[in-house]
């Protein structure tokens, strides 16, 4: 997707907010469409959109934005996302089909991103190879993305700072990247309702929370030397038949 938002026509961030066809509260609220604007610099730092549709793509001109939540709205992900050079949290839940089959490669330019959640995304089929540049990500959630079938193996293995990794309701995901064992600092891992058959977690020495449930085709799990304080392995139908839990010391 080519960059197509003209940001030169806006003097202040509030001008960008006013381009939207819905009411935006100027006092931040975690339940309503709202923003946080620095009162001294007049720069917008946080933008939450809840249940309001057709947001203006001028949002991509908010170049000092640090947190963006898009809940039940329909903002397409454009190559202009590379403008968000200060973004540390991106949460998208329910895109109403606005996001295409692929994310733009510019997604990898969000170098300060520490929290990424993509939930209820209708059309997305994969993650771009450029996610390898998101080296600051601490928490990654992919949830209820029915067409997601590929997570790039080599690229995701570069996210070595990852602490929390959730893969939930991904029925077309049949393999987990082998490079998951690069996540030496991973504390919490959940994998639920996928189509994986083998789960090798031997390299994850910092894991204390592990949830593996409702993976109907899962046959083999391998774990080793984990300081687990919570483990839930239930309703993995094939696993229940043959029980191949390898605990290696």
Note the pLDDT of residue 162. Answer: 98
The answer to whether residues 83 and 107 touch, using CB atoms and an 8 Å cutoff, is: no
The answer to whether residues 88 and 64 touch, using CB atoms and an 8 Å cutoff, is: no
Q: What is the mean pLDDT of residues 112-117?
A: 98
Q: Report how far apart, in Å, the C-alpha atoms of 110 and of each of 26, 106, 173, 175, 249 are.
A: 25, 8, 25, 26, 39
pLDDT band at residue 238 using 50, 70 and 90 as cut-offs? confident
Q: Which CATH architecture has domain 7-162?
A: Alpha-Beta Horseshoe (3.80)
This prediction has a pTM of 0.94
pLDDT, the chain, mean = 93
Domain ranges of the chain: 7-162
Note the pLDDT of residue 243. Answer: 45
The answer to whether residues 168 and 189 touch, using CB atoms and an 8 Å cutoff, is: no
Note the pLDDT of residue 211. Answer: 96
For 47-65, how does the pLDDT look when each residue is reduced to its tens digit (9 = 90+)? 999 999 999 999 999 999 9
Note the pLDDT of residue 236. Answer: 87
- Quote the Cα angle for 15-38-48, to 5°: 65
Higher pLDDT, 170 or 2: 170
Note the pLDDT of residue 88. Answer: 98
**Is the predicted pLDDT of residue 151 greater than 50, yes or no?**
yes
For 176-209, how does the pLDDT look when each residue is reduced to its tens digit (9 = 90+)? 999 999 999 999 999 999 999 999 999 899 999 9
For 208-226, how does the pLDDT look when each residue is reduced to its tens digit (9 = 90+)? 999 999 999 999 998 888 8
Q: What are the tokens at 58?
A: 């001028």
């Amino acid at each position: 997707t080519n960059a197509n938002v003209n940001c030169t026509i806006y003097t202040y961030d509030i001008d960008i907010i006013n381009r939207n066809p819905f009411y935006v509260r100027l006092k931040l609220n975690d339940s309503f469409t709202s923003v946080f604007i620095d009162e001294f610099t007049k720069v917008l730092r946080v933008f939450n959109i809840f249940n309001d549709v057709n947001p203006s793509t001028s949002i991509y001109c908010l170049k000092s934005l640090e947190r963006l939540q898009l809940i039940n709205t329909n903002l397409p992900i454009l190559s202009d996302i590379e403008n968000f050079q200060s973004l540390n949290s991106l949460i998208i839940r329910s895109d109403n089909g606005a996001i295409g089959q692929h994310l733009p490669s510019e997604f990898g330019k969000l170098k300060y991103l520490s929290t990424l959640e993509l939930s209820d995304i209708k059309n997305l089929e994969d993650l771009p190879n450029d996610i390898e540049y998101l080296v600051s990500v601490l928490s990654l959630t992919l949830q209820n993305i029915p067409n997601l079938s590929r997570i790039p193996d080599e690229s995701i293995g570069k996210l070595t700072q990852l602490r929390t990794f959730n893969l939930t309701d991904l029925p077309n995901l049949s393999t987990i990247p082998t490079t998951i064992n690069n996540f030496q600092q991973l504390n919490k891992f959940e994998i639920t309702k996928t189509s994986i058959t083998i789960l090798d977690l031997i390299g994850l020495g910092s894991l204390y929370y592990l949830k593996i449930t409702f993976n109907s085709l899962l046959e083999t799990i391998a774990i080793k030397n984990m300081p687990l304080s919570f483990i839930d392995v239930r309703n993995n139908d094939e696993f229940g038949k043959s029980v191949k839990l390898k605990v290696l010391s």
